[in-house]
């Protein structure tokens, strides 16, 4: 498994990262044995980056991931663990200094860790971004100084949130960003922001290469926020691949891994089989390249919905 530098953090993360939201049962129930086996297998295949949040499954993901890492008995310095704060299933959004300061202690207890490598403010478009600049990031800085988190990140869907925040905080106070659903076959809009993010020295994590299930044979979960137009185009693309005896998921994984400016591609996984398939896709990409013909056909099917997204967050003044 290829490992890449994550911005200026000094962390080296696997090109395929393990998204642990499925371990919070957000895409369907995951038996504990399957979760443990998936994490063990991921480690064995060279995946060292794991991402969770108190939001995923109402803290279930953090507690299951903690259990899986303990069960795997992996040395702490061999894994890069990211969690988040400010978004909660039971409480909604709260990016106040007080809440995020309590949040890290809750997360560490559930994960069974002394520190996380990255602590993100989770989906910051759901508060006024000036609160993130003036209150949340200073609080995260204090957490960083305390040693409970090594690096600080921000996440969210609209790409405009990143320059808004990064242009208003002191250089170095945000180490990484996590963007999702903006670097895959159907949506590549993150690419235009990569030079800006590089100029800020910020590491780039891209999540949801399968567009949260749109680019899979099983299709997206009930709660998926995409407009119907996008869902049906992705369904057509998956059908096209299946008819040719090929996998939309493999193609989508490989496509997302093509850009080296993106340090790691976080894919949500719930079984050893998915770990196997996604790592195999990455290895095959490095030896044989992507299936160009299939890619052109799928891009043509998705062309009418290219970069089509959905609204997220509050109206920013």
Q: How far is the CB of 301 from ligand NAD (least distance, A)?
A: 18
CA distance 6 to 10: 7
Q: Which is nearer to ligand NAD, 127 or 274 (CB)?
A: 274
CA distance 112 to 110: 5
**Residue whose CB is nearest to ligand NAD in the complex, by number:** 268
Instruction: Show Cβ contacts of residue 277 under 8 Å, excluding neighbours closer than 6 positions.
Output: 247, 249, 250
Among 85, 190, 269, 294, binds ligand NAD (CB under 6 A): 269
Residue 119 — left, alpha, or beta (φ > 0 → left; ψ -120 to 50 → alpha)? beta
Structure-token match 């949500």, residue found: 268
Say whether residue 178 binds ligand NAD (CB under 6 A). Answer: yes
Q: Is 56 a catalytic residue?
A: yes
Strand ranges inside the chain, DSSP E: 3-5, 12-14, 16-19, 49-51, 80-85, 87-88, 92-93, 116-121, 149-156, 176-180, 203-207, 264-268
3-state helix, strand, coil in the chain (%, to 5): 45, 20, 35
Residues 123-142 that bind ligand NAD (CB under 6 A): 123
Q: Which is nearer to ligand NAD, 7 or 22 (CB)?
A: 22
The count of residues interacting with ligand NAD (CB under 6 A) is 28
Stretch binding ligand NAD (CB under 6 A), from 19-27, 71-79, 144-152, 191-199: 19-27
Say whether residue 54 binds ligand NAD (CB under 6 A). Answer: no
Stretch binding ligand NAD (CB under 6 A), from 3-11, 107-115, 138-146, 263-271: 263-271
Among 93, 151, 180, 255, binds ligand NAD (CB under 6 A): 180
Say whether residue 207 binds ligand NAD (CB under 6 A). Answer: yes
What's phi and psi for 259, nearest 5 deg?
Answer: -95, 110
Beta bridge partners of residue 80, listed in sequence order: 49
Residues that are catalytic: 56
Binding site for ligand NAD (CB under 6 A): 19-22, 27, 51, 122-123, 155, 178, 180, 207-213, 216, 249, 266-270, 274, 277-278
């Amino acid at each position: 498994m290829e490992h890449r530098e994550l911005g200026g953090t000094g962390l080296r993360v696997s090109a395929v990262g393990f998204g642990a939201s499925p371990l919070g049962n957000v895409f369907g129930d995951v038996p504990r044995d399957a979760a443990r086996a998936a994490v063990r297998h991921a480690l064995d295949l060279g995946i060292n980056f794991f991402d969770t949040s108190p939001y995923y499954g109402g803290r279930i993901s953090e507690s299951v991931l903690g259990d899986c890492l303990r069960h795997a008995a992996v040395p702490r310095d061999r894994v890069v663990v990211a969690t988040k704060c400010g978004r909660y299933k039971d409480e909604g959004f709260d990016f106040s200094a007080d809440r995020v300061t309590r949040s890290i202690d809750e997360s560490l207890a559930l994960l069974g860790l002394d520190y996380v490598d990255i602590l993100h403010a989770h989906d910051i478009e759901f508060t006024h971004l000036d609160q993130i600049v003036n209150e949340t990031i200073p609080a995260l800085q204090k957490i960083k100084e305390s040693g409970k988190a090594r690096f600080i990140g921000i996440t969210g869907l609209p790409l405009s949130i990143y320059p808004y925040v990064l242009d208003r905080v002191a250089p170095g106070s945000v180490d990484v960003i996590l963007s999702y659903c903006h670097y895959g076959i159907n949506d590549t809009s993150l690419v235009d922001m990569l030079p800006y993010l590089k100029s800020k020295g910020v590491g780039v994590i891209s999540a949801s290469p399968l567009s949260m299930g749109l680019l899979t044979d099983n299709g997206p979960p009930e709660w998926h926020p995409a407009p119907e137009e996008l869902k049906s185009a992705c369904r057509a693309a998956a059908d096209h691949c299946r008819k040719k005896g090929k996998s939309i998921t493999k193609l989508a994984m490989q496509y997302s891994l093509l850009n080296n400016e993106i340090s790691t591609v976080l894919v949500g996984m719930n079984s050893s089989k998915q770990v196997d398939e996604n790592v195999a896709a990455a290895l095959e990409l490095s030896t044989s390249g992507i299936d160009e013909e299939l890619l052109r056909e799928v891009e043509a099917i998705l062309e009418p919905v290219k970069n089509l997204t959905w609204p997220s967050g509050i109206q920013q003044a």
